[in-house]
Structures are given as structure tokens and as C-alpha cells.
Amino acid sequence: MIGFSRTKRSAASNAGYADLFGFIGFLFCLLTIVASTMATTAPAEPLAAVLKSVNDFTLDLYLKAAEAKGPGKNILVSPLSASLVTAMVHAGARGKTLEEITKGLRYPTDKDTLEKGFSSLHDLLANTPNVTLEIANKVFVEKTAHAKLVEGYKKTITEVHKSDVESADFLNNHDKERISINNWVSDKTHEKIKDLLQPGVVTPATAMVLVNAIYFYGKWKEQFDKKQTYPEDFYITKSQTVKVPMMHMTKNMRYAEIPELDAKAVELCYTNENVCLQIILPNAKDGLEGLQQKLRAGAFDLSNIPFYPTKVQLSLPKFKLEETINIKDLFKKMGMQSMFEQSADFSGMFDGVPVAVSDAIQKTFMDVNEEGTEAAAATAMVMCFRTLMRTEELEADHPFLLVLRSHETVLFVGHVVEPPSAE
């Protein structure tokens, strides 16, 4: 059995135990930054606009991922990683392609606001004390096309998006370059994300590969006692259980009841109290799909959970997740079509070299245990010369929400249907 109950401040200690009949989670992992942590030099309005765009994009991406994977499956997605790499693609888009990406990613339409906001966001995330948060962008450009890279575009991705730019020999050594990119990702994610690009994704027709990598590690402010971790039932359906290692803690923490979602929530903070993991648990054992429907209908804004401090008895599975997400398919379902087609307009990226996005892939990792949380994500967008585009497609106890929050930027989003072993 997993669950949490609260002790009312005006009541006796036997406040009743709420069963969490499943960890089939709506695993929402968000990283948000409170205004008080913002650097004084950061322009507040552009940064706020970009933070809002990432958070608005989060729910849509999660729900599209859940629909694509179907019920009964774990999900872990990084909206922040997807947004950061797509921002570099967006910088070179024009016409209909630009309009679709702007709408799909919820980006501000004003270029100056967008660029100042992303620049400030990178600076802000680079200064998150008492936890490890590392974010890196890199762009690998086919060496025969490097000279055609628009100078203004190169300046934007290096100065605004803090990306390195490197020449690559995709034409003659595409698989060697693929392995090199994978090694870069592995290094930046502390070896948590390996083999991001599978054989066949990078070809002699590849013009450019844009990559984002994120690594996070945080220790709980109040750690779980390992002696209080033992096997308990987890309801993967209303009537079917599996044994999972369950962690237990009774502490003062922030708790909320969310009647709009028929759910409750608790927030676990790391040693940086602006970074937290939020667990949103439907009251019904089989309530995950109903919760998703309510979110899809706009019944509640997850950025406004009404937390308040109280004593909470918490039982939480320890788990480890690893996911591969076909971002290309999800983006198409979100209305971003032309970036993947022969009609793609990236004339702001290359001078006289027509390109389109051929693949968009993301891999994620998360390990939650008694000491804290380790998470990583990497997203790659592969651009190819349009005249050489490939035509094949790549198909790729009860539910609760987890929100990793440093109070305003989304890092991961997903859900867990059956807790994989963290051992």
C-alpha cells in the first residue's frame, strides 16, 4: 500500500490514512524558478513570458505523449529539453514553419522578448544552488554547409541559446559523427543518457544535428530512512497489485487537496527549497485517465496548486524510469507539420541551402530513492538537406502526479504506470 495522509492542525493525530492504490503516476517533473532567485540583471518581463511558454507547452506535450503511448504505460518527458532545442530550430525558421513552431511551443511572438527571455532563462538555470542542474546545447553542422550558415543565426544560437557550434563530416563519416554526438550527450548527462541517436538517424544527407542535454541531482531536505523501505502492494489497476519497494516518512510538508481534479498533492523539497518534487494523486484507484481528461478540459492549472504546511504521513515507491520519446510524432499532433516537410522554410538558418527536420528524438531518465532524485534528458533534432530527405516515418496502489519544481520552468513531464525497480 502506498499513500499519504495529513494531520490537521486542529485535530488529533488519527487523521485517517489515504491509500495511494497505484504509482501509475501522472509523473509531472517540472523545474521552476521563483522570482526571488532571478538575477537582478535578468529582464523580468521577457523571462516571465518564456517561463509561461514552457509551462503552457508542458501540459499539451504530456497529454499528447500519454495519448500516443496509451493507458497502462509509464511516461517521462522533458518539456524543457524539447523547448530549448526547438528554440534553436525556431531561430532559423521563417513563414508558415515559424508560425507553426511559435504556436505549438507557445513562444512569445515578439523576437526581442523571446531572445531576451531565453538568454535570461539559461543564466537563471545555471545559477540554482545546493542542487546539481547542468544544461548544455550544441549544434553539429555538416562541414560542406558550414559556410552557408547565416551569420545572424549563428550569433543567436551562440549568444542567446548558449550553444557551441561544431563542424561534422556527415557526408563521409555519418556513423562516426553519430557516435561522437552520442558520446557528448552521455558525458553531459553523467552517462545517464546513452545512444540517443540510433543507427540510420544520421545519414550522408544530414545537414545539422541540434542537441540539448539536461542533468539534475538533488538530495531531499528531509531524507527517507532506508530502514523504513519495505515491499508493499502497488495497484497497477483497480484490482491488480504488484510488490514494490515503498519508502515511508511522516514529516511536516506542504499538502493540498484539489477537488477540481478529485485529487490530493504533496510537495517534497530538496536542499534548495525552490526545487521540489510534487506528487499529485487521484483519489480513485483507477483515477489517472479521469485526471488526464480533467486537465485536458482545463479544469485546473497545475502551476497554482494550493499547498499549505501540515504534517503528512507519506508512502512513496522508489523507482527508476528510462524512456525514449518520438518528439516528431508528438509535434505533428500539436500542429507543427511543415518543419518536417519538403515545404519547410528554414531560410533564416542556411543561405540558399533548403533543409527540413528529418527526426526529433528524446530520451529521459529518472531515479527516485531515499536520498533524493537524479534525472537526465536529451533531445536531438536532425536537419537534412531537403533534396535528399528520407521518406520513411519512425513509429515509434493508482495514478499520481509528480512535479519537480524550482518554482517556474518545466524540466520533465510524464507518468508512471508500473514502478520499475530502482534497485
- Cβ-based neighbours of 191, under 8 Å, separated by 6 or more: none
Given a cut of 80, whether residue 34 has pLDDT beyond it is no
Residue 48's H or E segment, with its range, is: helix 44-69
Domains of the chain: 2-31+219-319+400-415 (2.30.39.10), 44-216+321-388 (3.30.497.10)
Is the CB of residue 107 less than 8 Å from the CB of residue 53? yes
pLDDT of 70 reads 83
The CA distance from 366 to 19, in Å, is 24
Q: What are the residues whose beta carbons fall under 8 Å from the beta carbon of 368, sequence distance 6 or more?
A: 277, 316, 317, 318, 319, 320, 402, 422
Residue 149 binned pLDDT confidence (cut-offs 50, 70, 90)? very high
Q: What is the DSSP string of 399-423?
A: --EEEEESSS---EEEE-SS-----
Which class for 112: exposed (0-12), middle (13-18), buried (19 or more C-beta within 10 A)? exposed
pLDDT, average across residues 222-238:
91
- pLDDT confidence of residue 27: 39
| 71 closest CA partner among 246, 280, 290, 283 | 290
The more confident residue out of 406 and 150 is 150
Distance set, CA 166 to CA 199, 208, 298 (Å):
21, 10, 43
- pLDDT score for 409: 66
| DSSP run (H or E) holding 294 | helix 288-296
416 vs 266, higher pLDDT: 266
Report, as an integer, the average pLDDT of 128-143. Answer: 94
pLDDT digits (tens, 9 = 90+) for 83-111: 999 999 999 999 999 999 999 999 999 99
Tell me what pLDDT residue 147 has.
86
Q: How many residues does the chain have?
A: 423
Average pLDDT over residues 156-169: 96
Task: Give the tens place of pLDDT for each residue, 252-287.
Answer: 888 999 999 999 888 888 999 888 888 888 888 888
Which of 197, 200, 198 is CA-nearest to residue 210?
197
Q: Kindly tell me if the per-residue pLDDT of 37 is higher than 80.
A: no
Confidence band, pLDDT 50/70/90 cuts, at residue 9: very low
Average of per-residue pLDDT values in the chain: 84
The predicted pLDDT at position 132 comes to: 94
pLDDT digits (tens, 9 = 90+) for 292-339: 899 888 888 888 889 899 888 899 999 898 999 999 999 999 999 999
**Average confidence (pLDDT) over 183-194:** 98
- For residues 167 and 180, is the Cβ–Cβ distance under 8 A? no
DSSP 335: T
Mean pLDDT of 10-23: 30
Task: Give the pLDDT confidence score for residue 303 in this predicted structure.
Answer: 80
Q: What is the pLDDT of residue 16?
A: 27
